């Protein structure tokens, strides 16, 4: 594109010069023949148009099209968490987000879980915290106060 801009600009400049002077001069060993008064104006006009075209080509080649926006990250399907319990205690896993629901299992301190969604349920006090947020995992519901996620807020959408 830059070569095209240079060629257009050079030829346009030459035509402007012919239009102003009327020809009859030498450029790089080539003799530019004289032109009559009738052709001077068209040479000048075409020369100006070629110079503007050269500028447009130069600007277009120096401003490439912007890169396409990156694709959005896929939505998370789970969020990692770690069971946090005092030594010797396990975190209960419930069928629903309620302390009166059936206990379907237990996980010990340090166990990894994948949170699928969150729900509001019974308020649970544990590990010096109180919360009604529950995390649904593949095992069942676990009170959020027993799951370390790096935040006290919901990490996944509501169930």
Note the pLDDT of residue 35.
79
In the chain, which stretches have pLDDT less than 70?
Answer: 1
Contact status, residue 111 vs residue 85, Cβ threshold 8 Å: no
Same domain? 54 vs 97: no
- Residue 10's CB: how many other CB atoms inside 10 A? 14
Query: Would 101 be classed as within a structural domain?
Result: yes
- Tokens 């100006």 correspond to what residue? 48
Last residue of one domain, picked from the residues 37, 62, 87: 62
Note the pLDDT of residue 40.
79
With residue 125 as reference, give the H or E element that holds it.
Answer: strand 117-126
Last residue of one domain, picked from the residues 21, 37, 62: 62
Note the pLDDT of residue 62.
73
**In the structure encoding, which two tokens stand for residue 109, read together?**
């301190």
Q: How many domains does the chain have?
A: 2
Query: Would 30 be classed as within a structural domain?
Result: yes
Note the pLDDT of residue 1.
58
Query: Would 48 be classed as within a structural domain?
Result: yes
Nearest CA to 103 out of 73, 142, 154 is that of: 142
Give me the domain span that covers residue 139. Answer: 79-148
**H helices within the chain, ranges in order?**
2-21, 37-62
Same domain? 23 vs 52: yes
Note the pLDDT of residue 94.
98
Contact status, residue 140 vs residue 159, Cβ threshold 8 Å: no
The CATH number covering residue 121 comes to: 2.30.30
Query: Would 157 be classed as within a structural domain?
Result: no
- Tokens 């148009």 correspond to what residue? 49
Say if residue 35 is exposed, middle or buried (CB neighbours under 10 Å; 0-12, 13-18, 19+): middle
Query: Would 144 be classed as within a structural domain?
Result: yes
Same domain? 83 vs 128: yes
């Amino acid at each position: 594109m830059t070569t095209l801009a240079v060629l257009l600009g050079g030829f346009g400049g030459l035509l402007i010069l012919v239009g102003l002077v009327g020809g009859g001069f030498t450029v790089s060993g080539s003799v530019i023949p004289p032109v009559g008064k009738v052709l001077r104006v068209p040479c000048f006009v075409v020369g100006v148009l070629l110079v503007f075209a050269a500028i447009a080509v130069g600007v277009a080649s120096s401003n490439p099209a912007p890169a396409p926006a990156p694709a959005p990250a896929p939505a998370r399907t789970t969020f990692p968490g770690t069971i946090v319990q005092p030594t010797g205690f396990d975190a209960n896993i419930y069928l629903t987000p309620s302390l009166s629901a059936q206990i379907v299992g237990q996980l010990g301190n340090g166990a990894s879980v994948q949170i699928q969604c969150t729900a509001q349920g019974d308020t649970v006090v544990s590990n010096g915290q109180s919360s009604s947020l529950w995390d649904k995992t593949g095992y069942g519901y676990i009170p959020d106060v027993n799951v370390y996620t790096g935040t006290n807020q919901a990490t996944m959408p509501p169930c």
